[in-house]
A and B are shown apart, each in its own frame.
Chain A
Amino acid sequence: MTTWTMIITLSKDVMRIVADQDVVPFRNRVKECAVKIKMGLVNQTKLITAASELGRNMLKYASGGETLIEIVTRGRDNGVRLTFKDKGPGIADLSLAMKDGYSTGKSLGLGLPGAKRLVNEFDIKSEPGKGTTVVVIKWANG
C-alpha cells in the first residue's frame, strides 16, 4: 500500500501477550489510544474486536508474542496501528488462512478474515518455522 510510507508515528507502546488474562489490559490500551484520537464508538469497537482476534490467534497458535500499539498520522488522518509479532510455527498457506471458515484449530476460521474486514489496512507476513507478523491500521474516520 503506497500510503504506508507517509505514515508518521506519534506514540508507541509495547505489550506482551503470553497469557489469556493479558488480552484485557491490551484491549484497554488499544481503547485508550482510540479515544485519544477521537475515534467513534463503532470504529473503536471494530478495532478492539479485531485486536482481540489477532491477540487470541497469537496466544493459541504461537503461545504468545509481542504487540506494538501506535498512534499514527498521515496528515489530517489519525489512526491506531497495531502490530502482532510472534515466533510461532508460522502459516504455510496465507491465502488459505485468510479464507472465511478455514481453521486448523477446529474453530470457525473467522479471526483473520473477520479482523481484515474490521480495519482499514491489513498486512500479514509469515514464514513457516519463524513466525507471523500482522499489522493493522484503523483510521479515526475510517
Chain B
Amino acid sequence: MEKIPILKMGPFLLVTIQVDLYDRLALSLEADLVQMVKKTAAKGVLIDISAVSIVDSFMGRIFGNIAGMCKILDAETVVVGMQPAVAITLIELGLPLTGVHTALDVEKGMKLLTSKVDIDIESDDDLDDDHNTI
C-alpha cells in the first residue's frame, strides 16, 4: 500500500502531503504519525498541506485526531500552507480544526513549534503573529 513519508528533523516530525488523500491513506498516516511521535519522543509535528486542494470533514477530523493524540504524547501539531480556497471552504462547511495550530508556511510553522516547545534551540523567536487556531 501507498504510504506518506514522515521525516524527522531534530525534535520535530515533518509530513508533506503531496497526493490526494483517500480515507485509508489518511487513517494510516494518522496511525503512523502517532507511532512515530511515541517512538522518537518528538516534540512537534508539522503537516504541510500546501499541495492539498481539498480538505473535507473527514480529513479535518484526521488533523484534529492527530493533534489530540500528539498532545497526550506532549507534542504540538501545526498544519501549514493551507490554500486560501481551502480555508474559506472549511469555514463555510463549519469545521472547527480544534487543537490544530496553523501557519502560513513550513518556516513559520517551525518557528511556531519552536516557540511552543521547551527546548534549547538558538533563540530566534521574533515570532510573526500570522498563525492562529481555527
Contact = CB atoms under 8 A, between A and B. Distances in A.
B54 A108 contact: no
Nearest to A40: B85
Interface stretch (B6-14, B88-96, B101-109, B116-124): B88-96
A110 B85 contact: no
B20 A24 contact: yes
A53 B57 CA distance: 7
A108 B57 contact: yes
A104 B24 CA distance: 21
B55 interface: yes
Interface string A15-59: 000001101100110000000000001101110110011001000
Q: How large is the interface on B (under 10, 10 to 19, 20 to 34, 35 or more residues)?
A: 20 to 34
Contacts, number: 68
Contacts of A41: 85
Contact of A53 (B20, B23, B24, B56): B56
A53 B23 CA distance: 12
Main secondary structure of the interface of A (DSSP, over half): helix
B53 interface: yes
Classify the interface of chain B: helix, strand, loop or mixed.
helix
Interface in A40-82: 41-42, 44-46, 48-49, 52-53, 56
Contacts of B57: 53, 107-108, 110-111, 114
A52 B22 CA distance: 10
A49 B57 CA distance: 9
Interface of B: 20, 22-24, 53-58, 61, 83-86, 88-89, 92-95
Interface of A: 20-21, 23-24, 27-28, 41-42, 44-46, 48-49, 52-53, 56, 100, 107-108, 110-111, 113-115, 117-118
